[in-house]
A and B are shown apart, each in its own frame.
Chain A
Amino acid sequence: MGKKLLLWKTREIEIISKIVASYFNDMTSTTITSRPYAFTAIGLFALLGCNDSAIKQDASVQGTVIVDGELATQGIVAFHPDDGGAVAYGTIHSDGSYALRIGQGQRNDLDNSKIYPGKYTATVAVTSPSSDKKEEIGNLREPSPRINDTKFSNKNTSGLMYEVASGRNIINISVERAPLDELVDAEKLEIDAAEDGQVLSGEHAPQGEESAEGESDAEEGVRAKGVEEEPTQ
């Protein structure tokens, strides 16, 4: 720290020492008062004040949040600085976009709020549009469920690391939906039950609103079962 100061401020130190020296010259060597010391102290404080190594809050971050290829429509993005410090966050707008801010941000121009440059780990919580139904007690809207995989909402597991530089940053964040297995355990059991019935009785494919992927998986499952059961028949 002291070494750095000397390197940067050699000129200032020269000037200060000249002033200090002039005071010494004016006085007789036997009358050393507290004045030179006071001046030295003031000079040192001035140097501390000029220290510009502090990181400037001069970075802006905007971007878009994508869930399995589709724009997110609601939720929150948070950027946790790796060295501690203020968490920057932004709400996800209906077009999937977000802009980060610290605290209230730049209130008249939120999109250009400034955060500190540095390394960050992001967390995301994408929620589905909240229901219009209101709870009877308190007349509050029911909370909207989170769509994305839980791991993206925890900074230890999100894996979303970004380096924010001074100036403009565009950071698009791509996350995945919560795995279907976890969502509809009960539903899956129903499908499995229907499949078993199908293999035995040879009925048509089970009806239901599964994704295309779910359907193809189900078909494959049926085929595999058929093969397995052939030798026993």
Chain B
Amino acid sequence: MSLRTFLLIAIILLMAGCGGTYDSYVSGLVTLDRKPLLRGTISFKPVQPGPTAYGLISDDGSFTLKTGRESGLPSGEYVVAVVANEPSVSKEEGALPTPGKPITPLWYRSTKTSPLKITVDSGSNEIDLELTSEAPPGYEQPKQRRRK
């Protein structure tokens, strides 16, 4: 074994020792119709039972996933939902803000209807989410609630 490979293995082992709770890390950019999405919430729900990981879309369109308070998530198959709304507005000082208008199309807003299926590998993952306002095939608009 050469010194170089020995050092490489030593470094890898040291890095493994410093590892966090989760074996995978995910970050990336979100776009809607090729334009970056500048606000909103990303959720990665595992296909297998387990906790959902969340990420906040920052004002440059990037996101990093966290599970609870710690960065990262277990590797595996995930369904991804993206919920973004216009900022909520307070009409009066101190009054409850009304929710802003939705930005992301309805089918992306729930992991039950989202067409985004992502495989997260062990290690660092750079995952860009490209959303379109064109409904996925077979998607049915849910019936609108009648006013009582």
Question: Closest Cβ of chain B: how far from A77's Cβ, in Å?
Answer: 12
Which residues does chain B contribute within 8 Å of A71, judged by CB atoms? 41, 54, 56
Interface residues of B in 50-67 (CB under 8 A from A): 51-52, 54, 56, 66-67
Q: Which of B21, B85, B89 is A70 in contact with, Cβ under 8 Å?
A: B85
Kindly supply a per-residue 1/0 record for chain A positions 112-143, scoring 1 wherever the CB is within 8 Å of any chain B CB and 0 otherwise. 00000000000000001001010000000011
Q: Which of B68, B99, B100, B144 is A99 in contact with, Cβ under 8 Å?
A: B68
Which residues does chain A contribute within 8 Å of B110, judged by CB atoms? 69
> Are B66 and A211 in contact (CB-based, < 8 A)?
no
Which residues does chain A contribute within 8 Å of B123, judged by CB atoms? none
Report Cα–Cα, A212/B144, bound state, in Å: 11
Which residues does chain B contribute within 8 Å of A221, judged by CB atoms? 147
> Are B54 and A64 in contact (CB-based, < 8 A)?
yes
Given A63-B68, A97-B69, is A142 in contact with B93 using a C-beta cutoff of 8 Å? Answer: yes
Interface residues of B in 31-53 (CB under 8 A from A): 40-41, 43, 51-52
Which residues does chain A contribute within 8 Å of B70, judged by CB atoms? 62, 111
> Are A170 and B85 in contact (CB-based, < 8 A)?
no
> Are A178 and B96 in contact (CB-based, < 8 A)?
yes
Which residues does chain B contribute within 8 Å of A131, judged by CB atoms? 90, 93-94
A142's nearest neighbour on chain B, judged by CB, is: B94
Q: Which of A70, A170, A183, A220 is B147 in contact with, Cβ under 8 Å?
A: A220
Q: Which of B67, B93, B99, B101 is A68 in contact with, Cβ under 8 Å?
A: B99
Question: Closest Cβ of chain A: how far from B142's Cβ, in Å?
Answer: 12
> Are B95 and A145 in contact (CB-based, < 8 A)?
yes
B84's nearest neighbour on chain A, judged by CB, is: A70
Kindly supply a per-residue 1/0 record for chain B positions 97-140, scoring 1 wherever the CB is within 8 Å of any chain A CB and 0 otherwise. 11111100000011000000000000000000000000000000
Report Cα–Cα, A68/B43, bound state, in Å: 12
> Are A62 and B94 in contact (CB-based, < 8 A)?
no
Given A70-B41, A99-B69, A143-B94, is A209 in contact with B89 using a C-beta cutoff of 8 Å? Answer: yes
Kindly supply a per-residue 1/0 record for chain A positions 66-97, scoring 1 wherever the CB is within 8 Å of any chain B CB and 0 otherwise. 10111100000000000000000000011111
Which residues does chain B contribute within 8 Å of A62, judged by CB atoms? 67-70
Q: Which of B69, B101, B145 is A211 in contact with, Cβ under 8 Å?
A: B101
Q: Say yes or no for A224: interface residue by CB 8 A criterion.
A: yes
Which A residues contact B (CB, under 8 angstroms)?
Answer: 62-64, 66, 68-71, 93-99, 111, 128, 131, 133, 142-143, 145-147, 168, 170-172, 177-178, 180, 183-184, 187, 209, 211-213, 216-217, 220-221, 224
Q: List 25 A-B contacts (CB under 8 A).
A: A68-B83, A69-B110, A70-B40, A70-B41, A70-B83, A70-B85, A71-B41, A95-B54, A95-B56, A95-B66, A96-B54, A97-B66, A98-B68, A99-B68, A131-B94, A145-B90, A145-B95, A170-B67, A177-B99, A184-B91, A187-B91, A211-B98, A211-B102, A213-B145, A217-B144
Listed from nearest, the 4 A-B pairs whose CB atoms lie closest are A62-B68, A69-B83, A170-B51, A111-B69
